[in-house]
């Protein structure tokens, strides 16, 4: 289903205590399929409890670059996403971005995070 040049990364974040995601999963996370060399985000999925939310979050990331597009993504999330997980989305992305950069630099990734 995914090309051999893709990798899978998961970014984690804490969500608000009153958020249904926190009650259901304990935390918020986004899984990204990324082209290893280019950083292009192919697709993603999240721990959103409503499928429309997960699809919308994915649309904010798909086609963007894991290395270079943080400001674009941040602007889109702040301008378009008005759910209680807004901050958690950005934190989860930054966590996945950190792991991606470690992989590119040949450094170990802590998979327990």
Sheet holding 41-46, edge to edge: 6-13, 28-35, 41-46
pLDDT for 69-113, tens place per residue? 999 999 999 999 998 889 999 999 999 999 999 999 988 887 765
* E strands, the chain, in order: 6-13, 28-35, 41-46
Q: What pTM did the predictor assign?
A: 0.87
| Domain edges within the chain | 6-104
DSSP H or E stretch at residue 52:
helix 51-61
CATH class of 6-104: alpha beta
- For 28-78, write each residue's pLDDT tens digit: 899 999 999 999 999 999 988 789 999 999 999 999 999 999 999 999 999
């Amino acid at each position: 289903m995914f090309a051999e040049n893709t990798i899978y990364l998961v970014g984690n974040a804490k969500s608000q205590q009153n958020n249904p995601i926190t009650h259901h999963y304990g935390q918020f996370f986004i899984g990204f399929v990324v082209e290893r060399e280019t950083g292009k985000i192919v697709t993603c999925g999240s721990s959103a409890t409503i499928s429309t939310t997960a699809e919308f979050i994915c649309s904010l990331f798909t086609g963007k670059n894991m290395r270079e597009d943080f400001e674009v993504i941040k602007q889109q999330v702040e301008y378009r996403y008005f759910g209680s997980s807004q901050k958690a989305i950005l934190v989860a992305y930054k966590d996945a971005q950190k792991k991606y950069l470690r992989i590119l630099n040949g450094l170990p990734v802590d998979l327990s995070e």
